[in-house]
Amino acid sequence: MSSLMSAENNPNDCVKQQKLLKLSTADNNNTDNTSSIIGNIGAKCLTVGLKKQATNNQTEQQQQQQQNHKSNGSVENGSIMNHQASGSSNNNQDEHQIDESLYSRQLYVLGHDAMKRMARSSVLIAGLGGLGVEIAKNIILGGVKEVTLHDNKLADYYDLSSQYYLNESSIGKNRAEQSLLNLSELNPHVKVNVHQGALIDESFLQNFSVIVLTDSSLEEQLSVGEITREKGISLIVAQSRGLFGQIFCDFGNNFTVYDTNGENPISVLISGITKEKAGVVACIEDARHGFEDGDVVRFAEVKGMTEINGKDYKIKVTGPCQFSIGDTTGFSDYQNGGIVTQVKQPKAMNFKPLKESILAPDYLDSFSDRPQQEHLFFQALDRFQNQNGRLPRSWNQEDADAFYELLVGLVNERQVEPSSINENLAKIFAKQARGNLAPVNSFIGGGAAQEVMKACTGKFSPIYQWFYYDAFECLPNDANQLPKESDAQPLNCRYDGQNAVFGKQFQQKLCDLRYFLVGAGAIGCEHLKHFAMIGAGTSERGKIVVTDMDIIEKSNLNRQFLFRPKDVGGFKSKIAAIATKAMNPQINVIAHENRVGVDTEKYYDDDFFETLDGVANALDNLEARTYMDRKCVYYRIPLLESGTLGTKGNVQIVIPNLTESYSSSQDPPEKSIPICTLKNFPNAIEHTLQWARDEFEGLYKQAPEQAYLYLTDPKFIERTNKMNGNQPIEIGESVKKVLAERPTSFMSCIKWARLYFEQQFNHQIQQLLFNFPPDYTTTTGAPFWSGPKKCPHPINFDPSNSLHLDFVMAAANLRAYLYNIPQCPNREEILNLVTSLSESEIPKFKPKQNLKIAVNDSELSMMDSNQFDVGERFKSILAELPTLEELKSVKINPIEFEKDDDTNYHMDFIVAASNLRAENYEIAPADRHKSKLIAGRIIPAIATTTALISGLVFIELYKFVQGFKTLDPYMNSFVNLALPFFGFSTPTACQTLKYYDNSFTIWDRFEINKDMTLQEFIDYFLNEHRLDITMISQGNVLLYSFFLNKEKREERMPLKMTEVLKRVSKKRIESYVKSLVFEICCNDDNGEDVEVPYVRYVLNNEPMDISK
């Protein structure tokens, strides 16, 4: 290995001497159900809870007057450099108009009101090192009005390990000026300035809503703190020193929090209210309400006791399904119905100013003594820096001792118990304090940026008031393995900041890493940033392969920070790789546009996986996550799994031979809406939106797809006829509807839409009321229309009603697109066409006397099980279809639902259909924004959480590279920035199983390296392992079983295993397949079933080169 000292002459050489590592996930939802991947919060859980201090409430208007200080882009003292993003005519967004196409996912986290407050806020960030640029990036993406950068420091090599908008050419230049261009390009709606001049200038500082200090001395912090207190400006101090970080918040007195947790208000249906002094409310069917004592709730739709509708009540919880609202004796008797909804209350908080809080601190973490120590560490470090004009030299014992002496003096001043200070921890803090780590800056920067947003908006609970974090466990526990001073000397290369913590030998390992990053979305972009900053994949051996088949959309730009407006329409992986190379030109990053799964195993085969050091998932769906998890277990490589859902995020670490896999534990399935609820008995807007989405899929996608196959696939009829149950009939009927009832003009589409309206929102409801009139009672005498069943009413079509016309316009235009008929976007013309239909063309309702309507899914299942000759009915349906000759000119365009295009009528249909059905059942309607969230199954997302979670992932990557062989150093994480909450737990160990005296885990298997016959295979396990095989399968193909008939058994026994597989599956084994997985069921000597590992059956194929 060549000496790293050569990097003094050529900084780039330093980069070429390092290696690579391994990661783990789940991105919401995602989704996949991102919220479900919280991970285990176990005995080592560190809980960070919010210390609450409430005083009198303050109105939003008063709070905004206190928080908002506008910057006009110029100051009397000093100068400001402005930069406006190209292609933007106006960088300041209208506070009344939020760019929903850009902020779509963030709006579902913050809401419109908070976004508008943020769009009126101006922020100053002082210090543009790695931490400062991370905070700036996140809040610019977030959409504040204006960000001003201030920094009098010049870039040096220590910055390059985490400041991704600096490079070697920036050395010796002002960090803020060098970062301006890249930061200003992140969001065209945000004005970005650089201030040149003194920071301690009241006339300058008073222009801002929030001030963030990231690289200031304590003296400077205190001076700025006095001004912010006097002027009513929020102050945030954020610092990182190697593996340690700090956040402090002072939002003044009477700071109003409008929403403490960001959760949707709880809403439940009720079944009764007693008429008594206590006034006890019962939830339907013993449903748990989830309220707490003191919550304020509001009632609606209560029948009988109507006096409480629209009124707010403070409740007392009397049980999980009941609560008291106080005296109801003066009200009417309760009859039925009713919804009760939580009403969120604003909360006022009082903060101590910095000069008081630093002496009497309140810590976010109240379960550990570490914050108390680190609070003093940072102050002692400030003293060391003031005395010496520098930070302690990396891993220098003399400086560490001097730091400790200062710390002891500080401890005596503060009258802290000396025994509460860990001397070893303190000295290691000093030895690595010169370090500058991108993952730690990402974690602290993500958290600090969220605090900026809280200060601007009053949305979510702020940190009160000090938060400390350390990743001390990234360093070896053995003092003899800690870096030596000679190993951490500066080399004038971009990794000096990282070498200062881990040493150059560790850096070499990072550079050599070969990693597979699956996904280049929000988390994927952050991961690529970290790969570039830590130097992973930069040596001759190293490589980062990233794959993502998605293309960039405008809504991605708000949090996927490697992309710009000009990139919209391009492949994420390709554009992200280019941006990553710009951050670190030495990184070997290869972009693919493939999905991961069985169909791409010719690319991602044994040769590919066996050269990897690990996999990092950045996925948004469960199927791909579990597939990659299986691959990592099979190839015995680490997996870094992570995911986010709004302000929540998690990290799960999967380590070969140590931890359980991602798939080892599963979350409970999401509650599904019963079919009968959707079809006939909705009681919530979620039900009507799901119904509308189902209607869209059935009308415009599923049925047209079947019709398209009927027209183009010669085997469609044969294949459909072999399907189970009533599927052939259902498919046949849908094909007939699409092809036999096809329109010939746009007017035909209008008429169809009008008839569809009549059927869905009038006739169907009248039929339901015919079967179950409003006064209908059950066999027990109870009202049928009570509890969760809301009695509907039909809607009469009115062309002057905008919602009615919205529906017809959307439904007709979608049908026109389906059949290649020119669409009509003119609303007036649509109105004229609708009104031109005569009354005789709209059939009157005639009740179906013998129609049975299922009341619940059990009844529906019984009705569906009625048997009749499916084959004959399918034949008769086919006979009613036009011939293929008649249909040869017909073209069908199945429609794939796309929620983010406001011109395609997709969401127009969903919103109108859902709200009309909601009107049928007297359910409060949903606006387009909420409808898109629910029907579009959008995963709320915000850049702050993504940055923070990615930082935690790469902190775990450091531990992989260290080669730790026990679980103790590793951490699974769950965070919720809204509360705020930070939970860390040791990963769950993999389960150990046994057969006879042999122990095994999911990471173990049997290995067979020669091609055996089936008989030899069975004999091998019987003779070598005392296992009597009863079944053998490969995937979903059963190769052998104890109940196999004699003829097949005799036929297969002498055949090679590969030949048996080919014959039974009727498929060839592809040349790129180097091994097969066989699952076996066995009995032991006593004839009892035993669980055993799977079998890896190695083939003798020549390997393929698919490295490109």
Query: Measuring CA to CA, which residue among 188, 327, 184, 103 is closest to residue 938?
Result: 103
Indicate if 698 and 802 belong to the same structural domain.
yes
Same domain? 593 vs 693: no
Contact assessment for residue 934 and residue 684, using Cβ atoms and an 8 Å cutoff: no
Q: Give the model's confidence band at 40: pLDDT under 50 very low, under 70 low, under 90 confident, else very high.
A: very low
Instruction: Answer yes or no: is pLDDT of 25 > 60.
Output: no
Which one-letter DSSP state was computed for residue 232? T
- 167-173: which pairs have CB atoms within 8 A and are 24 or more residues apart? 167/494, 168/11, 168/12, 168/494
In this structure, the chain runs to a length of 1108
Query: What CA–CA distance (Å, rounded) separates 941 from 948?
Result: 13
The model's confidence at residue 872, banded by pLDDT at 50, 70 and 90, is: confident
242: exposed, middle or buried (C-beta count within 10 Å: 0-12, 13-18, 19+)?
Answer: buried
Confidence of residue 1108 (pLDDT cuts 50, 70, 90): very low
Taking only the tens place, the pLDDT of each residue in 986-1021 is: 999 999 999 999 999 999 999 999 999 999 999 999
Q: Which of 416, 433, 450 is the last residue of a domain?
A: 433
User: Could you tell me if 578 and 604 lie in one domain?
Assistant: yes
Whether residue 158 lies inside any domain: the answer is no
Distance CA 125, CA 194 (A): 10
Give the global pTM.
0.89
Q: Report CA 313 to chain centroid distance, whole Å.
A: 35
134 within a domain of the structure (yes/no): no
Q: Who contacts 328 (Cβ-Cβ below 8 Å, separation ≥6)?
A: 273, 274, 275, 276, 279, 305, 308
Lowest mean pLDDT among 111-115, 344-348, 821-825, 865-869: 865-869
For 134, the token pair is 């991370």
Integer Cα distance of 243 and 225 in angstroms: 26
Bridge partners of residue 246, in order along the sequence: 239, 468
Determine, yes or no, domain membership for 941.
no
Q: Does residue 788 form part of some domain?
A: yes
CATH assignment of the domain containing 291: 2.40.30.180
CA–CA separation, 80 and 983 (whole Å): 42
Where does residue 578 rank: exposed (0-12), middle (13-18), buried (19+ CB within 10 A)? Answer: middle
Angstrom distance (rounded) from CA 726 to CA 262: 45
Q: Among 35-49, 159-173, 201-215, where is mean pLDDT lowest?
A: 35-49
In the prediction, which pLDDT does 877 show?
82
Same domain for 690 and 739, yes or no, is yes
Given a cut of 80, whether residue 294 has pLDDT beyond it is yes
- So what's the pLDDT on residue 459? 98
The stretch 561-583 carries a mean pLDDT of 98
In a domain, 934, yes or no: no
Distance, in Å, from the CA atom of 145 to the CA atom of 139, rounded to the nearest integer, reads 10
639, 756, 837 from 826: Cα distances, Å:
53, 21, 18
903 and 972 co-located in one domain: no
pLDDT for residue 725 is more than 80: no
Per-residue model confidence (pLDDT) at position 671: 77
**DSSP secondary structure string for all residues of 759-803:** IIIIIHHHHHHHHS-TT-B-TTS-BSS-TT-PPP------TTSHH
pLDDT at residue 1 is higher than 70: no
Nearest to 335 by CA among 783, 868, 6, 654: 783
Is residue 939 a part of any domain in this protein?
no
**Same domain, yes or no, for 976 and 1007?**
no
| Local structure of residue 285 (DSSP, 8 states) | G
Residue 1008 lies in a domain: yes
CA 834 to chain centre: 44
1018 and 890 share one domain? no
Number of domains the chain contains: 5
Residue 346's closest CA among 434, 274, 230, 256? Answer: 256
List the one residue out of 666, 656, 667, 638 whose CA is nearest residue 990: 656
The three-class DSSP label of residue 947 is helix
* CATH number assigned to the domain comprising residue 573: 3.40.50.720
Query: Which one of 404, 433, 462 terminates a domain?
Result: 433
Per residue in 755-770, is it b (16+ CB within 10 Å) or e — as a string?
ebbbebbbbbbebbbe
Give the three-class secondary structure for 490.
coil
Residue 783 pairs with which residues in a beta bridge?
777
Q: Is the pLDDT of residue 80 over 70?
A: no
Q: Are residues 810 and 767 in the same domain?
A: yes
The per-residue pLDDT of the chain, averaged, comes to 90
Based on the fold, state whether residues 637 and 712 are members of the same structural domain: no
Secondary structure (DSSP) of 535-603: TTT-SSS-EEEEE---B--GGGGGT-TT--GGGTTSBHHHHHHHHHHHH-TT--EEEE----SGGGTTT
Q: Is the pLDDT of residue 17 over 70?
A: no
Q: How far is CA 118 from CA 134, 140, 190, 951, in A?
A: 18, 11, 11, 25
Closest CA to 820 of 913, 889, 756: 889
CATH code, domain carrying 1058: 3.10.290.60
The predicted pLDDT at position 90 comes to 44
Shared domain check, 898 and 962: no
Query: What are the φ/ψ torsions at residue 174 (nearest 5 degrees)?
Result: -65, 130
Same domain? 324 vs 402: no
Catalytic choice (45, 321, 676, 824): 676
CB of 813 within 8 A of CB of 755?
A: no
For residues 4 and 496, is the Cβ–Cβ distance under 8 A?
Answer: no
Residue 719 pLDDT: 86
Do 522 and 569 lie in one domain? The reply is: yes
C-alpha 727 chain-centroid distance: 36
Alpha-carbon distances of 156 from 148, 392, 586, rounded to whole Å: 22, 17, 19
Q: Poorest-confidence range of 43-47, 198-202, 949-953?
A: 43-47
**More confident: 488 or 723:** 488
Domain limits at 273? 267-343
Least confident segment among 582-591, 724-733, 753-762, 893-902: 724-733
Q: How confident is the model at residue 803 (pLDDT cuts 50, 70, 90)?
A: very high
DSSP state of 326: S
The answer as to whether 1090 is a domain residue is yes
**CATH code assigned at 846:** 1.10.10.2660
- pLDDT tens, position by position, 614-667: 999 999 999 999 999 999 999 999 999 999 999 999 999 999 999 999 999 877
Terminal Cα-to-Cα distance of the chain (whole angstroms): 27
Residue 558 exposure: Cα atoms within 13 Å on the Cβ side: 22
Which helix (H) or strand (E) covers residue 673, if one does?
A: none
Q: What's the confidence (pLDDT) of residue 36?
A: 30
CA distances from 611 to 512, 535, 614 (A): 12, 19, 9
Whether 676 is a known active-site residue: answer: yes
Domain end among 417, 433, 449? 433
